[in-house]
Amino acid sequence: MDSISSFLVLPNRLLVPLLPDLPEAAQLRWPLPRGVVRVHLRGARELRCKDRFLGGLVQGRSDPYAVLRVGTQAATSRVIGDNLNPTWDELYEVRVAPPGPPD
């Protein structure tokens, strides 16, 4: 009965190392970050107006926002309404992963 119950308990896994110097499975799947990049998004000046009405005859004021992309990670700032000189003053932190294995 004990041998049967040991196979029914989760998680039940068996790791077989393929190479002698291969790191543990957790390190391969979730590597420790190499560092953190901190970005302080302050603002923008003299943006072009992108809102147009009546076929471009009337120009409105845009609602700008910023998109920050680092590798596969992305962050979007809040929208500042009706302003061509927005000030966000937001702080973003992005983890930097170690380089992958050589090809």
The domain spans of the chain are: 40-96
pLDDT computed for residue 30 by the predictor: 67
Considering the chain, what is the average pLDDT of its residues? 78
Superfamily of domain 40-96: C2 domain (2.60.40.150)
pLDDT exceeds 90 at position 26: no
Residues 6+ apart with CB under 8 A from 6: 12
Q: Indicate the pLDDT class of residue 17, thresholds 50, 70 and 90.
A: low
pTM: predicted TM-score of the whole model, two decimal places: 0.59
Q: Indicate the pLDDT class of residue 95, thresholds 50, 70 and 90.
A: confident
Q: For residue 54, give the DSSP letter.
A: G
CA distances from 59 to 33, 51, 90 (A): 46, 6, 29
Q: What is the per-residue pLDDT across 69-85, written as a single tens digit (0 to 9) for each? A: 988 889 999 999 888 89
pLDDT computed for residue 42 by the predictor: 96
Q: What is the per-residue pLDDT across 46-60, written as a single tens digit (0 to 9) for each? A: 988 877 666 656 667
